[in-house]
Amino acid sequence: MNDVFSLADELGPLKIIHIHEPGIGLKGVLVVDNVAKGPSIGGVRMAPDVTTEECVRLARAMTFKNAAAGLPHGGGKAVLIGDPKMPKQEKEILIRGFANALKEVEQYIFAPDMGTDEECMAWVKDEIGRVVGLPREIGGIPLDEIGATGWGLSHVVDVALEFTDINIKGARIAVQGFGAVGKNVSKFLTKDGAILVAVSDSTGTIYNPEGLDVEKLTALKSEGKSVTDYPDGDKHERDAIIDIECDIWIPAARPDVIYEDNVHRLNTKMVVEGANIPITHAAEKILHDKGILCVPDFIANAGGVICAAMEYQAASQSAAFATIEEKLRRNTREVLQTAKREKIFPREAALAMARKRIDKAMSFRRWNIF
Ligand code: NAD
């Protein structure tokens, strides 16, 4: 019995639900972490190797992200064991089955994450209705297509620059990963005058100190090619992006790409975390001690979930963009000012800010976390 509670603390998780239906090969987990601020939002991740523990960590990250963003939502997360590239019919059966199994759990609102997309969310809507991240045709705001997270990141960069001597005009940026987040943050920042000197994807890095053309790179990716097929630049191996000399380094790919043993390779003045948990806490501390400003993930990349929460309220796309801008600018300024004033690193300031908001919400409840 103790094992079940080994991952529990004063914030949650409230519920861990394992779903198993051998008839359709369904194995999934839902973690509802904390709903003091409202029904939880967090994506459904499909991967062959996802675990309950990973789901618990991701649900907690959503509790902090949603609280920091000032949303009326707690944190939750769901994982489904399976290869996301499975045939569509099989995937549809799993998603529909999973949604049905969780029909009664009103404290969780389905959303897309790695391995699931808007079409999957449309199936969830058809089954149970409680979902965000839908296709536009049925009331969704397609957050990846419009670049909600990249838009938010560009505002975070703009505010964070006030705490450095870097000017966005001519600032050299390097972006790891050129998917929904990477290409959109590149688009918005280059529009503001930054120079994209390097990008990478899962196959390699392309570098040109004179600048890369975001539209041409995006066109290559939509043809199914790699950024290394870009003709006008030097090609390097995938992780060479870490060594590129730049002013702003933006991880927008995988978790845990920077850790204690490789953090010294970063040759930048500022890091803004587009990906989730891309840098270990120990490595963030090292960056801070070296005077490199690092804006943590759950502050910097909250544009996507803010957009999803706005969709749930039936808001328009332009209202979602305005809210992302307002919330992320305010949060970034508050976190960086607190970090500076109290001589702590930005993640500590961000966690304290989010925790204060969660504690306040919990204080209004008959029972703390639900
Ligand atoms: P995506 O699948 O659209 O793109 C991922 C990109 O990373 C692809 O270009 C892929 O080739 C590349 N990539 C994969 N492994 C790599 C590696 N080891 N090195 C370099 N590049 C690699 O995903 P996305 O939606 O852009 O999400 C990227 C990250 O941002 C994830 O960590 C995700 O959890 C996080 N995130 C996304 C959103 C969102 O709105 N989509 C919001 C918050 C956080």
Please tell me if the CB atom of residue 301 comes closer than 6 angstroms to any atom of ligand 1. yes
- The pLDDT tens digits for 103-124 are 999 999 999 998 899 999 999 9
Q: Is the pLDDT of residue 203 over 60?
A: yes
Question: In a mutational test of the pocket of ligand 1, which residue from 186, 202, 229 has the highest number of ligand atoms less than 8 Å from its CB?
Answer: 202
Please tell me if the CB atom of residue 304 comes closer than 6 angstroms to any atom of ligand 1. yes
| Mean pLDDT computed over 84-108 | 97
Q: Is 20 helix (H, G, I), strand (E, B) or coil?
A: strand
Distance 181 CA to ligand 1 centre (A): 6
Please tell me if the CB atom of residue 74 comes closer than 6 angstroms to any atom of ligand 1. no
Task: Decide: 324 and 303 in contact? Cβ < 8 Å.
Answer: yes
pTM value is 0.93
Residue 86 corresponds to which amino acid? M
Residues, the chain: 370
| Mean pLDDT computed over 300-304 | 96
Please tell me if the CB atom of residue 200 comes closer than 6 angstroms to any atom of ligand 1. yes
- Alpha-helix residue ranges (DSSP H) falling in 18-129: 52-68, 88-101, 118-127
Q: How far is residue 255 CA from its own chain's centroid? A: 10
Q: Mean pLDDT score of the chain, rounded to an integer? A: 95
Task: Decide: 254 and 177 in contact? Cβ < 8 Å.
Answer: yes
Question: In a mutational test of the pocket of ligand 1, which residue from 141, 144, 146, 181 has the highest number of ligand atoms less than 8 Å from its CB?
Answer: 181
Q: How far is residue 367 CA from its own chain's centroid? A: 30
Distance 114 CA to ligand 1 centre (A): 8
Closest atom of ligand 1 relative to the 274 alpha carbon = 30
Q: Is the pLDDT of residue 1 over 60?
A: no
| Mean pLDDT computed over 336-347 | 96
* Per-residue pLDDT at 114: 84
- What number of helices (H) and strands (E) belong to the chain? 12, 13
| Mean pLDDT computed over 142-171 | 96
| Mean pLDDT computed over 54-76 | 94
Task: Decide: 271 and 288 in contact? Cβ < 8 Å.
Answer: no
* Per-residue pLDDT at 2: 59
- The pLDDT tens digits for 306-329 are 999 999 999 999 999 999 999 999
* Per-residue pLDDT at 3: 78
